[in-house]
A and B are shown apart, each in its own frame.
Chain A
């Protein structure tokens, strides 16, 4: 299957700082990318959907000024957690899909964010 690379796999940051997470599709064009957050023993919660070159569409309750998403190219999307707080500590996962290839979305490895 197609490969999605997410970086970093884990990060620890101080409260009040910002963290950027990258998601790259390595062998296909990611026309749509999804960003999820997952708390322990809970399912995936969709945060936002982004199409290349367009503004992201955020799910209800997700602060777009806090979680900045950029999808500037067909192979790269970034999620920046601004002014991170301990309650933002979570597992963040991206998935990418080529809308012309099919329905399946491919997942990155996930990023474990810990805010201290």
Chain B
């Protein structure tokens, strides 16, 4: 079966750095996505990793280790608006119908 694990909740302070981990065991792998979702809204794309290593994009960075089935999302200089759910999703090898398998999301609360 497919399995994606990430912590349920995290709390951090404004201005700090937080790392959200994601581990996966899937039957195929065609890349890993991180999405941000505010309550009542659709997810918005943050990052995509298909090769090992760190991808940096402004305050957000994402890391992937395929051999370990592990990724993390790093958020720097946290702002109150970063309070949201962060979803890890793995793209499976399924031709043109490559599916995304989703983790349950990590609810991040940023406190002043």
Interface residues of A (CB under 8 A from B): 1, 6, 31-32, 34, 42-46, 49, 51, 57, 91, 93, 99, 103-110, 112
A-facing residues in B20-46 (Cβ within 8 Å): 30-31, 33, 40-45
Known A-B contacts A42-B104, A46-B99; A107 and B48 likewise in contact (beta carbons under 8 Å): no
Q: Could you mark each residue 88-100 of chain B with 1 if its beta carbon is under 8 Å from any beta carbon of chain A, else 0?
A: 0001000011111
Known A-B contacts A42-B104, A103-B48, A108-B42; A32 and B31 likewise in contact (beta carbons under 8 Å): no
A51: B residues at CB distance < 8 A: 96-97
* Cβ A107 vs Cβ B99 within 8 A: no
B31: A residues at CB distance < 8 A: 103
* Cβ A112 vs Cβ B40 within 8 A: yes
A-facing residues in B32-76 (Cβ within 8 Å): 33, 40-45, 48, 50
* Cβ A49 vs Cβ B97 within 8 A: yes
* Cβ B40 vs Cβ A105 within 8 A: no
* Cβ B100 vs Cβ A43 within 8 A: no
How many whole Å from A47's CB to the nearest CB in chain B?
Answer: 11
Known A-B contacts A1-B45, A31-B96, A112-B40; A103 and B30 likewise in contact (beta carbons under 8 Å): yes
Known A-B contacts A44-B87, A51-B96, A99-B96; A107 and B103 likewise in contact (beta carbons under 8 Å): no
Known A-B contacts A44-B87, A103-B31, A103-B91; A109 and B42 likewise in contact (beta carbons under 8 Å): yes
Known A-B contacts A103-B30, A104-B45; A46 and B40 likewise in contact (beta carbons under 8 Å): no
A109: B residues at CB distance < 8 A: 41-42
Contact pick for B45, options A43, A93, A106, CB 8 Å: A106
* Cβ A49 vs Cβ B99 within 8 A: yes
Known A-B contacts A43-B102, A43-B105; A107 and B43 likewise in contact (beta carbons under 8 Å): yes
